[in-house]
Structure 1
Amino acid sequence: MSDMHGQIDAFNALLDKVNFTMEEDLLFLLGDYVDRGQDPRAVIKKARALEKQGAIPLKGNHEDMMEKALAGEDTQAVLHWAANGGAQTLSSYGLSMKKVYNDIQNHALELPEDLQQDLQWVQHLNIYAETENYFFVHAGVDPEKPFDETDEETFLWIRTPFFEGYHGDKTVIFGHTPTMNLHESSDVYFGTNNIIGIDGGCVFGGQLNCLELPSKTVYTV
């Protein structure tokens, strides 16, 4: 699953629909838990609970923006985050973007304890995960470089060069780019070059997808 973006109701509904059980399933979450939706805090709480049950949560570019703004205490990073839905994340913790910006500017930022703990969790998220046949990542990979020589920003942000240029042996499962931009549908995108996009653009009125492997069965809400 990927790109929940604060849509806690859809996230819970999809987990119920696939009947996730820690004893039988290995769940990969491909990032973008926060921003834009109604309750990013609740999505992080759910992702953290799932991690304790064995799920593997990865970092998305929206967690990266959150980390750079809050942990880095950088006003330019705050503005970048604000332009990409960060206000909804702060609101779910009882804060406003304006206050955070001013506090950082005045070197007086104090975050509530629950946000501090979630921020620490974000800072320790892995960027990718891989199995024998699959590579799981938020945005994609550099088609010109080995995985272990690729920088973090590429894994979190890449789009077109990956879509058009990847031809590796492992199937890359990714989120980040709504599939509507890949094949004019919110359904999972099965690329002919060994890539599978699963971001159904739920927060933009699309759907939340879950891809089951190796069967390639898709569940949606």
Structure 2
Amino acid sequence: MAVYVCSDIHGLREKYDALLENIDLDQNSLMILGDVIDRGPDGYFILKDVLQRENVHLLMGNHEYMMLELLEKYHGRIPNDIHVLNWILNGGAPTMAAYNKADAQEQSFILKSLQKLPFAYTDFKVNDRTFYLCHTAPGKAKRKNILYREDVMDPLHFVWDRMDPNGPFFRNKTIIAGHTIVLNYHPDLQVYSDTGDLKTAHYIDIDCGCAMQDERSKLACLCLDTMEVCYY
């Protein structure tokens, strides 16, 4: 079984479907490092699909966290008023509209599923290599391995803070994250690594700009077994 990693799909179903067509999920698994919703039109559909797939595992992104905070604050309902302005300004309108059309049973499923999302896998081993998988950057936590909200010292900063590409890094593991579009690090929409070589990298950024929604934007998918990347 091979393990694949992607991040920041942001509601672009065409790219998501193309990725799934290239991965045999009966034999392999897919780790999504947050932000399947918002900006694009089909984030809510992708969120539902991901949550119902056995071999697809979603980490908490800042966009899922925005949605979760509102659902908890308003008891599973999302008011269409000034209280959701920050989410709307961050591209949440399509997700909010789709959620509000769902029935109560589906809305309850979404809320409970979001509450159970892990924030990070701190010691994710593939072959002889160890990875730290998260949406943004490693943050302070009360324990190791799989981190949930109750394990994270500051959940808000954990999903919003950006990685410093200059480190510090871990000695014996590679950080893989999204959240920051790779154009902040180099001029091409290609997966970024601090060493220029994915096989020796201490930090890998796989957000290749789906949120841009233009002809250049890409969804990157990295195979952790081979360290090969496919773009969609």
Category of TM-score, reference length = shorter chain: 0.7 to 0.9
Question: Residue 2 of structure 1 contacts residue 175 of structure 1 at CA under 8 Å; is this kept in 2?
Answer: yes
Question: Residue 141 of structure 1 contacts residue 147 of structure 1 at CA under 8 Å; is this kept in 2?
Answer: no
Q: Which of 83, 87, 93 matches 2:93?
A: 87
Gaps in structure 2 of 5+ consecutive residues: 1-5, 144-151, 196-200
Corresponding residue of 2:3: none
Corresponding residue of 1:215: 226
Q: 1:77 to 1:155 in 2, by over 3 A?
A: farther
- Which amino acid is the alignment partner of residue 59 of structure 2? L
Question: Residue 34 of structure 2 contacts residue 62 of structure 2 at CA under 8 Å; is this kept in 1?
Answer: yes
Corresponding residue of 1:21: 25
Distance in 1, matches of 2:165 and 2:108, equals 36
Give the total of aligned pairs.
200
User: Greater helix percent: which structure?
Assistant: 1
- Which amino acid is the alignment partner of residue 24 of structure 2? F
Distance apart, 1:150 and its partner CA: 5.2
Question: Residue 58 of structure 1 contacts residue 138 of structure 1 at CA under 8 Å; is this kept in 2?
Answer: yes
Deviates more, 1:162-171 or 1:201-210: 162-171
Q: 1:115 to 1:186 in 2, by over 3 A?
A: farther
- Identity, in percent, stands at 32
Instruction: Write the deviation string for residues 49-102 of structure 1: whole angstroms up to 9, x where unpaired.
Output: 32x2x332111000000111222129776222121011111122355xxxxxxx
Gaps in structure 1 of 5+ consecutive residues: 96-109
Distance in 2, matches of 1:211 and 1:181, equals 19
RMSD value over aligned CA atoms?
A: 2.4
Distance apart, 1:181 and its partner CA: 1.6
Does structure 1 residue 181 correspond to structure 2 residue 192? no
Distance apart, 1:147 and its partner CA: 7.7
Distance in 2, matches of 1:112 and 1:36, equals 24
Q: 1:214 to 1:90 in 2, by over 3 A?
A: same
Corresponding residue of 1:194: 202
Distance apart, 1:174 and its partner CA: 0.4
Corresponding residue of 2:117: 125
Partner SS, residue 4 of structure 1: coil
User: Greater strand percent: which structure?
Assistant: 2
Q: 1:158 to 1:186 in 2, by over 3 A?
A: same
Question: Residue 65 of structure 1 contacts residue 77 of structure 1 at CA under 8 Å; is this kept in 2?
Answer: no
Q: Give 1:152-163 correspondences, 5 Å limit.
A: 152-160=155-163, 162-163=164-165
Question: Residue 7 of structure 1 contacts residue 39 of structure 1 at CA under 8 Å; is this kept in 2?
Answer: yes
- Which amino acid is the alignment partner of residue 176 of structure 2? I
Distance in 2, matches of 1:111 and 1:46, equals 16
Distance in 2, matches of 1:34 and 1:124, equals 17
Distance apart, 1:203 and its partner CA: 2.5
Partner SS, residue 27 of structure 1: strand
Q: 1:77 to 1:164 in 2, by over 3 A?
A: farther
Distance apart, 1:170 and its partner CA: 1.1
Q: Give 1:44-63 correspondences, 5 Å limit.
A: 44-50=47-53, 52=54, 54-63=55-64
Distance in 1, matches of 2:207 and 2:21, equals 19
Distance apart, 1:20 and its partner CA: 2.8
- Which amino acid is the alignment partner of residue 13 of structure 1? A
